[in-house]
Structure 1
Amino acid sequence: MQEELRHQIALTQIPQIGDIVAKKLLGHFHSASAVFKAAKHELENIPDIGTVRAAAILEFCDYEQVDREIAYITQNNIQPVFYTSVQYPQRLRHCADSPVMLYYKGNADLNAGRIVSIVGTRAPGDYGRTVCAKLVEDLAAHKVTVVSGMAYGIDIIAHRQALLHGMPTIGVLAHGLDRIYPPQHKGTAMEMVENGGLLTEFLSDTMPDKQHFPMRNRIVAGIADATVVVESGLKGGSLITADIANSYNKDVFAIPGRVGDPHAAGCNELIRTNRAMLITGAADLLQAMGWDHHHAPKSQLNPQRELFLTLDEAEQHILTLFTGNDEKHIDQLRRESHLPGSQVTSLVLKLEMQHVLRGLPGQKYQVIN
């Protein structure tokens, strides 16, 4: 287990290997350890790997940094959450560029039934502060987990209101878990660890550099069922988060504001361009998501049935191996399908990302009915 963790962290530190390529490697080799033990010619023959990336994998040697990180997360009760783990946020897992490794400190469920990301300007007006506080307060009775980015303004208001009303709240960081940025939010962060959590893709000692914030924003967008922009100018991280959420086919909502108010310009533009649905409060959000008393939660709906119409012959073949609610190990699927092992792994991963198959502990899978 320790060897696999070393290789999981190492896989994220190879300069030429990003999250998307790393997932292709995992789809072929099934584990991080197997990637590093592969022969050069085997690596080179994988699509999108080639000689340069194969050499980067085989030449990686910075295990000193990897071991320091393992020691740090062990000493500080930080949970490494790898892409193939059942603890990995399943909503985020289905996003193409999701991080291969996450580091988590807290007790909130990353796969809670209802998760809403709330974002907005770092310098809200009285209107934005009031609306944000009321929105969170009114969601408290509906078992919603609140996610945001720990920044000044709307982010920290959302986190603090969630804590005030006993709601789990998760802060996504643009740096390592050995620091809190901005430092003024350290007290709130400590409370969140006790009723929520802190989540990042970055190793300890990673500074909150400018380029890390858009990376942070994709986690904020991807981990939630919906993103709400409370107050925003025409530029900024909250609009980036909204656009990322749209690219993931997530629900995006915005609170409207007065025409001409620079604090509301971003929200109004999202609504005007149909990139966000107008809501005036929690009731609108709950109704749109099917979380009010008159609708079944979205998690109980079955949108997958339409997807079967778009499956190709190989994907349909994999599905014919399942009977009812039975569970099948990946090795069993390889044997029964009579297809190459790497192809089966790729097909299963694709079906899982399409919400047709559900990944279970122990590399088992089940059809989602």
Structure 2
Amino acid sequence: MIMEELVYIYAVAELFRYNPLASRQLLASLENPASLFSMGDDELEAVSGIRGAAREMVNDSLLEKSLRELEWARSRGVSVLPITGDEYPPLLRECADAPVVLFYLGSSNLKEGLPVSIVGTRLASSYGREATARIVSGFAECKESQLLLSGGVKIVSGLAYGVDITAHKAALEMGLETIGVLPCGIDLIYPSRHRSIAKQMVKQGGIISEFPHGVGVRRWQFIKRNRIIAGLSAATIVAETRIKGGSMSTVEFANSYGREVYAVPGRLGDANSYGCNYLISRNVAQIFTDVSATEICNPQGGYAPAFGAQMNLFSFEDDKKEKILLSLKNNCALDIDSVCNLTGLPYGDVAALLLELELEGRVRLVHGGRYISVG
């Protein structure tokens, strides 16, 4: 799309920045976006939605502001994706409240692959982190079967602390593309501590924002971010959340878009698990036990061809399990990174196997996120 046309589309989006549905309706009513800025007062009065402050904004200053924003993006390699363009994520385009324009920095083809969001609490427990890593590991094994659709599984999340960043890190380690959606301008990674991870994601996935550069974080922007996470994704999996956690809004959006929602069953009495258990008990989310038990990679689900190997969330090769047990028996309490170093196994595998061994009563989690062998 040529820059001139994009300037007009972005200007229309800016008229109703916080109401993308109004922007989309306005675009649909115009023969072309540029025509809005050549209308006289009487013609503007007849255009639906152009009243008050919006009417005052239809001027050359808005076009100049839009041009500056697009030139800033181009100078930094940021792609500007209008909803009318071919590069816009197709699943997100289906959502009535999808942003009219997205800012995207990355290497992933957003039109291909199977986007799956993994979301949850910022205060993730070891159970939540390990379950998240195991879910990603299951999708990585889907990829290795080479029976998935072109582009493979893409892990989508919000770059926040806890479950989000665990999902992104696991995807990077396991060779999956991962997409982070920001609640601020694309130049302001939030939280800033995750900037180095975001840089890796740009090379193996990407980062997305609907906000112009320089826009900082405000509480209400997290809700807007969550709708994009849900809209981008064929399915949303909640790994761990409290009953009033922010992830619950992502679930609401996903359900409203007609997407599959899954929740990992949590531990009884654990506040971090109340949200997932509530979603399952109210039939808001399907119970998630393993990748192959869902419709995410099932042809009946309409997302991707089936794959042959069964991906049980709590099963793995016995020899790898024995390596972990041996490392724990020969040492004092170890954290996951130490077990990885001693066994040579990937982080995702170790996290998943430790969770399985803990459920079997063969290891125990002690203070400081460390594990000991039992018996």
TM over 0.5: yes
Moved more, 112-121 or 55-64: 55-64
Pair 1:38 & 2:39 matched: yes
Range that drifts further, 106-115 or 203-212: 106-115
Q: What is the aligned partner in structure 1 of residue 56 from structure 2?
A: 56
Asked whether 1:100 is paired with 2:100, we answer yes
Q: Relative to structure 2, which stretch is displaced further, 64-73 or 167-176?
A: 64-73
SS of the residue 2:34 aligns to? helix
**What secondary structure sits across from 1:241 in the alignment?**
helix
Gap regions ≥5 residues in structure 2: 143-151, 306-375
Q: CA deviation at 1:6?
A: 1.9
Q: Which of residues 232, 235, 246 in structure 2 aligns to 1:237?
A: 246
What SS is found at the alignment partner of 1:263? helix
Q: What secondary structure, in the 3-state scheme, does the structure 2 residue paired with 1:98 have?
A: coil
Q: 1:184-333 residue pairs with structure 2 within 5 A?
A: 184-285=193-294, 288-289=295-296, 291-292=297-298, 295=299, 298-299=302-303
- Rounded Cα–Cα distance in structure 1 between residues aligned with 2:256 and 2:100: 19
Alpha-carbon RMSD: 2.0
Structure 1 or 2, whichever has the larger Rg, is 2
Looking at structure 2, the residues matched to 140 and 22 of structure 1 have their Cα atoms a distance apart, in angstroms, of: 38
How many angstroms does 1:140 deviate by?
A: 1.0
Aligned equivalents of 1:132 and 1:163: distance in 2? Answer: 13
1:40-79 Cα distance to aligned partner (Å, 9 max, x none)? 43343344x2543662353462444323322221111000
Report the identity percentage: 37
Q: For residues 168-225 of structure 1, what are the alpha-carbon distances to aligned partners after superposition, in whole Å with 9 as ceiling and x for unaligned? A: 1000001111121111111110000001000000000000111111000000000110
Gaps of 5+ in 1: 302-369
Map Cα deviations across residues 114-158 of structure 1 (whole Å, 9 max, x no partner). Answer: 110000000111111111001001101332110000000000000
- The answer as to whether partners of 1:112 and 1:145 remain within 8 angstroms in 2 is no
- Matched with 1:27 is 28
The 3-state SS of whatever aligns with 1:41 is: helix
User: How many Å separate the matches in 1 of 2:17 and 2:95?
Assistant: 20
1:94 Cα deviation from its structure 2 partner: 1.0
Query: How many Å apart are 1:277 and its aligned residue?
Result: 0.4
C-alpha distance in 2, partners of 1:230/1:121?
8
Find the counterpart in structure 1 of residue 370 from structure 2: none
Counterpart CA distance in 1 for 2:200 and 2:40 is: 48
Residues 181 and 50 (structure 1 numbering): CA distance in 2 closer, same or farther, change over 3 Å? closer
Task: Work out whether residues 89 and 110 of structure 2, in 8 Å CA contact, stay in contact via their aligned partners in 1.
Answer: yes
CA contact (8 A) 1:26 1:35 kept: no
Secondary structure of the residue that 2:219 maps to in structure 1?
coil
Runs of 4+ that moved beyond 4 A? none
